[in-house]
Amino acid sequence: MQEPSSTRVQELVARLRAAGHRLTPQRLAILCSLARGDAHPSAEAIFAEVRALHPMVSLATVYNTIETLKEMGEVLELQFSTGNRYDGRLATPHPHLVCTHCGRIEDVALPALQSAVDAAARHLPFTAAVPRLDFYGICPACRETAPLQNR
């Protein structure tokens, strides 16, 4: 989890306040979890982290806070059939690497491809098309520890 003093956490706090929302201790902890460096946590993972500081927190509060931040455009929801993940650092769509073995999700920088995707999005028959580009494979760590599977 991030420190409450992290730049991104401070930014989220400021924007919540600016939008007329309150800052509870639970919320602050959720913000810290969402702004984590290794990010893309699940609601369950955020819940577990927050619970370490606030044993009485409920999952509903985690979902409520995420919903608020989503509406403000400060959190990107990555929907997966295995459970959604959240990115509280970069809320604009960007490509990801998804490990089908351990579930790890990494950002990947592919600027040229990103531009091509964005350009294509502007010329589709669907209005206001938002792209989603993910790559599903085996991460380096899993490749070593589980050498015989999924290769």
Partner DNA sequence: TTATGTGCAAACAGTTTGCACATAA
Partner DNA sequence: TTATGTGCAAACTGTTTGCACATAA
Which residues would be at the binding site for a copy of itself (CB under 8 A)?
Answer: 79-82, 84, 97, 99, 108, 110, 112-113, 116-117, 120-121, 124-140, 143, 150-151
- Judged by CB under 7 A, the chain residues 8 through 37 that form the site for DNA are 17, 20-27
Which of DNA, a copy of itself, none binds 11 (CB below 5-8 Å, type-dependent)? none
Q: Are 43 and 63 in contact (CB under 8 A)?
A: yes
Which of a copy of itself, DNA, none binds 61 (CB below 5-8 Å, type-dependent)? DNA
Nearest Cα to 96, choosing from 58, 134, 51?
A: 134
Which of DNA, a copy of itself, none binds 59 (CB below 5-8 Å, type-dependent)? DNA
Q: Please tell me whether residue 96 adopts helix, strand or coil conformation.
A: strand
How far is it, in rounded angstroms, from Cα 127 to Cα 74? Answer: 23
Question: What number of other Cβ atoms are within 10 A of residue 124's Cβ?
Answer: 10
Q: Which pair of structure tokens corresponds to residue 7?
A: 């730049």
Nearest Cα to 97, choosing from 78, 117, 83?
A: 78
Q: Is 59 in the site for DNA (CB under 7 A)?
A: yes
| Interface mask toward DNA for 68-87; x: CB under 7 A | x------------xxxx---
Residues that bind DNA (CB under 7 A): 17, 20-27, 42-44, 54, 56-61, 63-65, 67-68, 81-84
